[in-house]
Amino acid sequence: MSVLPVLDVVLASLVIGVALFTITARDLFASVVGYVAYGLLLAFVWIRLYAPDVALTEAAVGSGVTGVLLITAGKRLGALKNAAPEMRPGLSLKILTGVLATLVAGALGAAILMLPDPPPSLAPEAAAAASGAGAGLKNPITAVLMSYRSFDTMLEKIVLILAVVGVWSVGADKAWGGAPAPLRQSRPYAPMVLLAQTLAPVGVLIGIHIFWTGADAPGGAFQGGALLAAMWMVTMMARLAGPPRIDAQWLRMAMVAGPAVFLVTGLAGGVLAGSFFAYPPGIAKPVILAIEGFMVLSIATALPMLVAGPPSERPDQ
């Protein structure tokens, strides 16, 4: 096992190097490419920290979807680039900021070196959650998300919906109800169409697989939903499908489904199992899987809508 420590050092220096590049790169495009590479590298770091669940989320959301969001934003912003030239900050400000940033990083690093020993841990509680209320979940992270800290997870879904509402409300008043601007303006080339047509069905299958194994192995609603979202975005980027109108009934229902089902089950737990968000023993696992299924639907619709942006055209009817 003598290779792994070397690998760790190489990985850490790569992460810092690429981060440095994204900060210092001259143009936006280069810095976004750097950011996508940075997300991939971080996913490998998470694997080394024994966190494949986080690695998958980071690769899908942190690197992939965020990258596409920034590229699309840069493209839309590019049309306005003629405005004010960028101001370069002065040398004294640079030095001052550098000192501040070094101090903050140094303090954080010192705190990390002085972390308490033995380390505090909530793992026993999570183990209890995995074998107790969320009976039969072999993946402790899913047990934590769906049982031990279920309230957090539900509120997090609501945050996602609020974010979509926030993005939509930024659009012009007269465009309300219309569809967001398409992710690709011109007709796609044949290879892109082929890629999207082949990738999307396989991707949907893999997304569902990752959601389904999430109960017992790394994976789960977040990762599966993010992969499905990515596949929908691929079809939109290849212009196989346009973004839907934001007043579409099915879209809104799909987005609200996750937290709504979660909340109803939580309330039902208050009546049937004695406390808010308690699952009735015996059928806990199927109930959790059902909630997660609706959460996948919500994530898979909310993420692409966040990337597509506010409605852009006047609804034509």
Q: Closest separation between CB of residue 16 and other proteins, Å?
A: 5
Tell whether residue 298 is a contact of other proteins (CB under 8 A). no
How many residues line the site for other proteins (CB under 8 A)?
Answer: 159
Residues 293, 239: Cα–Cα separation, whole Å: 27
Q: In this chain, which of 115, 173, 274, 275 binds other proteins, going by CB under 8 A?
A: 115
Which residues within the stretch 185-204 sit at the binding site for other proteins (CB under 8 A)?
A: 185-187, 189-192, 194-196, 198-199, 202-203
List Cβ neighbours of 285 (8 Å cut-off, separation of 6 or more). 134, 135, 136, 137, 215
Tell whether residue 30 is a contact of other proteins (CB under 8 A). yes
Residues 301, 241: Cα–Cα separation, whole Å: 14
Q: In this chain, which of 123, 267, 283, 290 binds other proteins, going by CB under 8 A?
A: 123
Tell whether residue 176 is a contact of other proteins (CB under 8 A). no
Nearer to other proteins, 29 or 289 (CB): 29
Q: Closest separation between CB of residue 174 and other proteins, Å?
A: 14
Nearer to other proteins, 158 or 268 (CB): 158
Which residues within the stretch 9-28 sit at the binding site for other proteins (CB under 8 A)?
A: 9-12, 14-23, 28
Nearer to other proteins, 245 or 268 (CB): 245
Nearer to other proteins, 48 or 282 (CB): 48
Stretch that binds other proteins, among 227-235, 249-257, 260-268, 275-283 (CB under 8 A): 227-235
Rounded to 5 degrees, φ, ψ at 30 are: -60, -40
Nearer to other proteins, 79 or 271 (CB): 79
Q: Closest separation between CB of residue 314 and other proteins, Å?
A: 16
Tell whether residue 156 is a contact of other proteins (CB under 8 A). yes
Q: Closest separation between CB of residue 265 and other proteins, Å?
A: 18
Nearer to other proteins, 89 or 282 (CB): 89
Tell whether residue 230 is a contact of other proteins (CB under 8 A). yes
Nearer to other proteins, 42 or 261 (CB): 42
Tell whether residue 174 is a contact of other proteins (CB under 8 A). no
Tell whether residue 92 is a contact of other proteins (CB under 8 A). no
Q: In this chain, which of 179, 233, 255, 257 binds other proteins, going by CB under 8 A?
A: 233
- Residue 260 φ/ψ region, left for φ over 0, alpha for ψ in the -120 to 50 degree band, beta for the rest: alpha
Q: Closest separation between CB of residue 271 and other proteins, Å?
A: 27
Which residues within the stretch 265-294 sit at the binding site for other proteins (CB under 8 A)?
A: none
Tell whether residue 310 is a contact of other proteins (CB under 8 A). yes
List Cβ neighbours of 288 (8 Å cut-off, separation of 6 or more). 134, 137, 142, 146, 147, 215, 279
